[in-house]
């Protein structure tokens, strides 16, 4: 009797959620792509939140338009111009922050305005591209190709070792850069390399959730992890778990006939719901210790 009872709810849930959708090729590809992107963004998000760089992430993501514009100008695929230009913008903002007297917000604001205006001006000259902009705004993970998946694996092979190498030092720099420098941490090298790496991850993640929501993919899992973790180490683990859950659940829910929503926004909605749960967990823990 019991043996029969256990599988029934799972089977029911599977039927209700129409999990057989995942047998369709493009859904499987999308799931695979998201399962690579989500841990990367979540892990980078932990440092992004620690450095208070969400405005930086916004500026870099909006430079996608300029990357597309440059591609049109030089007749090069935006798959190349977007990440390259994004990295350039990320490093450029860091140069401005470190070397000019402008406040951090002002430095980012200036670059943000310039690249968005340039991108929109370029794109507006080409009516057919302007129509395609929607996929950059909201993301288009369902059309990811095997080549795209290979690109993501390559990205993970670059970003994950980098994070493993620099996670502790980046956290240390975020607490007080002069202290880190005095204690023999190469602050400038870490700041520039993290900016470049973050820009690269953002530009690639735009294919999944779009310009408007890519910052959320970085920030929301990290914010939930902050509520759930008890140490700097477990924060990274929690962020990856929340990122993965959001991506998988978001993809499945968005494909439901009753939902029929764009995948990117659905993923972020799930992440926000998980953040709310984490907030409740933290509030209960705080009450217990009070």
Distance CA 44, CA 167 (A): 9
Residue 175 in the binding site for other proteins (CB under 8 A) = yes
Under a CB-based contact definition with an 8 Å cutoff, are residues 138 and 88 in contact? no
Of residues 24, 95, 154, 232, which one binds other proteins by CB under 8 A?
Answer: 232
**Cα(244)–Cα(234) distance, integer angstroms:** 15
Report, in Å, the least distance between residue 212 CB and other proteins.
Answer: 25
Angle formed at CA 164 by CA 158 and CA 168, multiple of 5 degrees: 135
Compute, in degrees rounded to 10, the torsion defined by CA atoms 53, 58, 59, 64: 140
CB of residue 220 vs other proteins: minimum separation in angstroms? Answer: 16
> By CB under 8 A, which span of 27-35, 120-128, 162-170, 256-264 interacts with other proteins?
162-170
The residue (of 37 and 173) whose beta carbon lies closer to other proteins is: 173
Phi-psi region of 184 (alpha: psi -120 to 50; beta: other; left: phi over 0): left
Cα 274 from Cα 222, distance rounded (Å): 11
226 part of the interface to other proteins, by CB under 8 A: yes
What span, in angstroms and rounded, lies between the C-alpha atoms of 205 and 139? 8
Distance CA 47, CA 257 (A): 37
The answer to whether 129 and 72 have CB atoms below 8 angstroms apart is: yes
Query: Does the footprint of other proteins cover residue 288 (CB under 8 A)?
Result: no
Tell how far CA 275 is from the center of its chain.
15
Taking the least distance from each CB to other proteins, the nearer of 7 and 233 is 233
Task: Give the H or E element holding residue 16.
Answer: helix 7-16
55 binds other proteins (CB under 8 A): no
Structure tokens at 107: 């430095």
Among 177, 192, 193, 273, binds other proteins (CB under 8 A): 177
| Residue placing its CB nearer to other proteins in the complex, 138 or 172 | 172
Which member of 22, 172, 253, 261 binds other proteins (CB under 8 A)? 172
For position 284 contacting other proteins by CB under 8 A, the verdict is no
Stretch near other proteins under the rule CB under 8 A, chosen from 84-92, 120-128, 164-172, 198-206: 164-172
Contact call for residue 161 and other proteins (CB under 8 A):
no
Q: CA–CA separation, 249 vs 226, rounded Å?
A: 21
* Nearer CB in complex with other proteins: 27/38: 38
Residue 107 touches other proteins, criterion: CB under 8 A: no
106 binds other proteins (CB under 8 A): no
Q: Of residues 128, 184, 287, 288, which one binds other proteins by CB under 8 A?
A: 184
Half-sphere CA count of 177, side-chain side, radius 13 A? 9
Q: Does residue 156 belong to the site contacting other proteins (CB under 8 A)?
A: no
> Contact between 218 and other proteins (CB under 8 A)?
no
Among 176, 189, 259, 284, binds other proteins (CB under 8 A): 176
Query: Judged by CB under 8 A, does residue 287 bind other proteins?
Result: no
Q: Which of 102, 157, 158, 164 binds other proteins (CB under 8 A)?
A: 164
Cβ atoms < 10 Å from Cβ of 53: 28
Contact positions vs other proteins (CB under 8 A): 49-50, 101, 163-165, 167-169, 171-172, 174-185, 226, 229-237
């Amino acid at each position: 009797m019991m043996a029969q009872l256990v599988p029934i709810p799972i089977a029911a849930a599977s039927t209700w959620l129409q999990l057989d959708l995942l047998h369709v090729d493009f859904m499987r590809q999308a799931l695979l792509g998201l399962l690579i992107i989500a841990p990367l963004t979540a892990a980078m998000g932990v440092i992004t939140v620690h450095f208070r760089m969400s405005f930086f992430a916004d500026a870099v993501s909006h430079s996608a338009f300029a990357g597309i514009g440059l591609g049109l100008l030089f007749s090069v695929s935006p798959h190349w111009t977007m990440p390259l230009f994004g990295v350039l913008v990320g490093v450029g903002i860091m140069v401005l922050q470190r070397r000019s007297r402008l406040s951090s917000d002002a430095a980012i604001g200036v670059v943000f305005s310039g690249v968005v205006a340039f991108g929109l001006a370029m794109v507006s000259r080409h009516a057919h591209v302007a129509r395609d902009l929607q996929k950059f705004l909201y993301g288009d993970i369902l059309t990811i190709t095997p080549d795209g998946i290979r690109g993501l694996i390559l990205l993970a092979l670059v970003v994950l070792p980098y994070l493993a190498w620099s996670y502790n030092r980046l956290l240390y720099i975020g607490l007080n850069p002069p202290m880190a420098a005095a204690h023999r941490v190469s602050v400038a090298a870490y700041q520039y390399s993290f900016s470049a790496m973050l820009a690269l991850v953002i530009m690639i993640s735009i294919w999944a959730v779009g310009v408007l929501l890519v910052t959320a993919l970085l920030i929301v899992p990290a914010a939930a992890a902050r509520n759930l973790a008890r140490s700097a180490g477990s924060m990274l683990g929690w962020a990856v778990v929340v990122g993965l859950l959001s991506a998988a659940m978001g993809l499945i829910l968005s494909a439901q006939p009753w939902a029929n929503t764009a995948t990117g926004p659905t993923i972020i909605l799930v992440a926000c719901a998980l953040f709310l749960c984490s907030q409740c967990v933290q509030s209960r823990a705080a009450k217990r210790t009070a």
